[in-house]
């Protein structure tokens, strides 16, 4: 069967050679589904590895699937928690609500991004690059669940064209594509990605009717709640005492005590909190990180040094900060608050925009940890930090490598002259 499909694909490729756009699309599907026949000569090659760019990107996407699946469930859980129906709504009710809330974001991110990739590949006359496979999954995972789809499309267009294609395509970009999309929304539409309400999906989903939840809403809040919920007036259906604030937002206002009054450390680790779609569950992120380390895709140097940088800076803040301030939040709790682990595993380790030398990776990761903690704690307008820290260090990564290489050359010349 595989041989038959491969032969049919070869026929399609041959038939579409006269149309560069059709041939580009056909070639993209062919390289995605089948391994290329062209390989290096067995004589004289030093690298014997089955890992190419396509497999590398697919492995990273696979590493993010646990975060995606849990994120879908948590979107539904937070939604029904806000309605006061978390106990009545079962696991599958929550998951499918989240599925229908998150899936359109994924489709838009991939559809728009890959469409641009196809167009530029056809215009330049080369095969489609697989680099966007990872960015297309990262963009939805770092967005709030109620982000308007048109904003996702606009941010994706900006990130792919300005952040990557303007520099020559995959492997040439100097900034992380997914973070470029997020920072575009952060500065262009700040109210949709900040505050307390954006981290919970209040949309009235048709799953309420399918699972018979209209009756639950009616018995809990009355007929007006259903009518107003359908028009997005979430204030009519929020449960008493409910807050959509994230732990970081609470810490910025009242320190660790404010966080503990609403969330436990277990909730922050397991992910039962509001936040971006893919970053709330730390155990899911750690599973993905272990997979990337085991397959040799992610750099342990960047992860370890970023962890050390964040801990050192956190300890300095603890030494001078009051207990009821953001400075006084115990350093180890910073690791499970917000998107630190997600940024460390999936963002900082981007092999294109990170430092390339071994020593440079240690410096690069450490500085992300330091800068990220400074932005998180000392900037009252943005209690997070890792997006800006990683983009900032993306810019300095080539300079770090330059000085590392220059230092190596100087040391070797000195050793040679001494001999």
pTM of the entire structure? 0.84
Would you write out the chain's pLDDT as a tens digit for each of its 419 residues? 656 566 655 655 555 665 555 555 556 556 655 555 555 555 555 555 555 667 778 889 999 999 999 999 999 899 888 877 778 778 888 898 889 889 999 999 999 998 888 888 777 666 666 778 889 999 999 999 989 999 999 999 999 999 888 887 777 888 999 999 999 999 899 888 887 778 888 766 555 555 555 555 555 555 455 445 544 444 445 555 566 788 888 888 888 888 888 899 999 999 999 999 999 999 999 999 999 999 988 999 999 999 999 999 999 999 987 777 888 889 999 999 989 999 999 999 998 899 999 999 999 999 999 999 999 998 867 778 898 999 999 999 999 999 999 999 999 998 888 86
Q: What is the 3-state secondary structure (H, E, C) of the chain?
A: CHHHHHHHHHHHHHHCCCCHHHHHHHHHHHHHHCCCCCCCCCCCCCCCCCCCHHHHHHHHHHHCHHHHHHHHHHHHHHHHHHHCCCCCCCHHHHHHHHHHHHHHHHHHHHHHHHHHHHHHHHHHCCCCCCCHHHHHHHHHHCCCCCCCHHHHHHHHHHHHHHHCHHHCCCCCCCCCHHHHHHHHHHHHCHHHCCCCHHHCCCCCCCHHHHCCHHHHHHHHHCHHHHHHHHCCCHHHCCCCCCCCCCHHHHHHHHHHHHHHCCCCHHHHHHCCCCCCCCCCCHHHHHHHHHHHHHCCCCCHHHHHHHHHHHHHHHHHHHHHCCCCCHHHCCHHHHHCCCCHHHHHHHHCCCCCCCCCCHHHHHHHHHHHHHHHHHHHHHCCCCCCCHHHHHHHHHHHHHHHHHHHHHHHHHHHHHHHHHC
pLDDT score of 232: 45
pLDDT score of 325: 81
């Amino acid at each position: 069967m595989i041989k038959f499909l491969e032969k049919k694909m070869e026929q399609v490729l041959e038939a579409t050679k006269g149309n560069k756009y059709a041939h580009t699309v056909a070639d993209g599907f062919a390289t995605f589904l089948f391994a290329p026949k062209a390989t290096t000569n067995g004589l004289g090659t030093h690298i014997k590895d089955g890992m190419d760019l396509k497999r590398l990107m697919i492995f990273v996407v696979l590493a993010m699937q646990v975060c995606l699946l849990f994120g879908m469930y948590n979107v539904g859980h937070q939604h029904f928690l806000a309605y006061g129906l978390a106990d009545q709504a079962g696991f599958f009710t929550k998951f499918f609500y989240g599925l229908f809330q998150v899936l359109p974001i994924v489709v838009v991110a991939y559809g728009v991004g890959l469409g641009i990739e196809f167009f530029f590949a056809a215009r330049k006359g080369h095969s489609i690059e697989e680099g966007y496979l990872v960015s297309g999954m990262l963009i939805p995972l770092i967005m709030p669940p109620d982000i308007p789809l048109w904003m996702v499309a606009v941010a994706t267009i900006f990130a792919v064209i300005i952040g990557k294609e303007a520099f020559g395509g995959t492997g040439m970009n100097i900034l992380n594509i997914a973070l470029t999309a997020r920072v575009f929304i952060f500065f262009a539409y700040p109210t949709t990605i900040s505050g307390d309400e954006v981290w919970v999906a209040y949309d009235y989903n048709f799953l309420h009717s399918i699972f018979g939840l209209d009756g639950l809403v009616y018995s809990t809040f009355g007929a007006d709640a259903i009518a107003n919920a359908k028009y997005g007036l979430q204030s009519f259906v929020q449960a008493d005492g409910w807050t959509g604030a994230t732990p970081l937002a609470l810490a910025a206002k009242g320190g660790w005590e404010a966080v503990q009054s609403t969330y436990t450390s277990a909730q922050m680790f397991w992910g039962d909190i509001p936040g971006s779609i893919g970053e709330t569950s730390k155990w899911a992120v750690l599973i993905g990180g272990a997979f990337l380390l085991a397959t040799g895709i992610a750099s342990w140097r960047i992860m370890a040094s970023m962890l050390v940088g964040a801990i050192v800076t956190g300890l300095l803040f603890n030494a001078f900060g009051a207990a009821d301030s953001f400075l006084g939040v115990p350093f180890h709790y910073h690791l499970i608050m917000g998107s630190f682990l997600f940024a460390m595993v999936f963002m900082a380790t981007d092999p294109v925009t990170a430092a390339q030398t071994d020593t440079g990776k240690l410096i690069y990761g450490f500085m992300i940890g330091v800068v990220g903690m400074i932005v998180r704690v000392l900037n009252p307008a943005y209690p997070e930090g890792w997006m800006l820290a990683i983009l900032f260090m993306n810019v300095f990564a080539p300079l770090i490598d330059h000085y590392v290489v220059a230092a190596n050359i100087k040391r070797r010349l000195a050793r040679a002259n001494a001999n």
